[in-house]
Homo-oligomer: A and B are copies of this chain.
């Protein structure tokens, strides 16, 4: 690993994996991580007690279900889900999503023993 900063091409990173709901780490800064994930189908309702989450659609689209509404996110659109807010991403087609969140964030939030819980994320 060089010390000099390298650029990261999102499409190139997304081409390196195909599984859904399994975030990869592609950058770290200020205690936060930049993660990429592919969404497909419905995820689980959850919240994060101490972490706000940022979701930016790079390709495809998904619905962010909140308790009071559903927001459709398309390429070039982002949403910040504040800590404590229950949410459920649902992708009716494959979506490529960039996330920005604290290094401590677990994908399923309060559901620590979900079969979808991912820890020890791969760095790409």
Cβ of A54 under 8 Å from chain B: yes
Q: Select one of B7, B32, B78, B79 contacting A79, CB under 8 A.
A: B7
Q: Does A82 contact B (CB under 8 A)?
A: yes
Please tell me if A6 contacts chain B, counting CB pairs below 8 Å: yes
CB within 8 Å for A27 and B8 given contacts A32-B32, A32-B100, A100-B32: no
**Is A76 in contact with B58, judged by CB distance below 8 angstroms?**
yes
> Contacts A4-B69, A66-B4, A68-B4 given: A76-B29 contact, CB under 8 Å?
no
Q: Give residues in A with beta carbon < 8 Å to B.
A: 4-11, 27-30, 32, 34, 51-54, 56, 58, 64, 66, 68-69, 71, 73, 76-82, 85, 98, 100-102
